[in-house]
Homo-oligomer: A and B are copies of this chain.
Amino acid sequence: MTRYPKKAKSEIGLSPTELVFRGEKKVDQIQMGVIDFDETSVEEKTIQNVKEIATFAHKKTVTWFNIYGLHDIEILKEIGEEFNFDKLILADVLETQSRPKIEDFNNFVFISLKMIQFSEEKQDITVENLSLLFNDNILFSFQEKKGDVFEPVRNRIRNHKRKLRSSRPDYLAFALIDTVIDHYLYLLGMLGEKIESIDDVLIDHPNTSVIDEIKSYKKKINYIQKGIKPAKEMILALSKLESDFIHKKNKIHFKELVNNINQASDNVDSYRELLSDQLNVYHMMISSRLNDIMKFLTIFSVIFIPLTFIAGIYGTNFDVLPELHFKYGYYIMLGCMAVIAIAMLLYFKRKKWL
Chain A residues within 8 Å of B, Cβ to Cβ: 2-9, 11-17, 87-88, 98-99, 101, 103, 149-153, 156, 161, 163-164, 175, 178-179, 182-183, 185-186, 189-190, 192-193, 196, 199, 203, 205, 207-208, 211-212, 215, 218-219, 222, 226, 229-230, 252-253, 255-256, 259, 262-263, 266-267, 270-271, 273-274, 277, 279-291, 293-298, 300-302, 304-309, 311-321, 323-330, 333-334, 352-353
> Are the CB atoms of B2 and A193 closer together than 8 Å?
yes
| A215 nearest CB across to chain B (Å) | 6
CB-CB under 8 A from A314, the residues of chain B are: 316-318
Residue in B163, B189, B196, B208 whose CB lies within 8 Å of A5: B189
> Are the CB atoms of B152 and A13 closer together than 8 Å?
yes
Residue in B16, B203, B290 whose CB lies within 8 Å of A212: B203
> Are the CB atoms of B266 and A229 closer together than 8 Å?
yes
CB-CB under 8 A from A103, the residues of chain B are: 252, 255
The contact sample of 20 A-B pairs, CB cut-off 8 A, is A2-B196, A4-B189, A6-B186, A6-B192, A12-B182, A15-B161, A15-B175, A88-B256, A99-B262, A203-B208, A222-B274, A286-B291, A289-B291, A301-B301, A311-B316, A312-B312, A315-B315, A316-B333, A318-B326, A318-B329
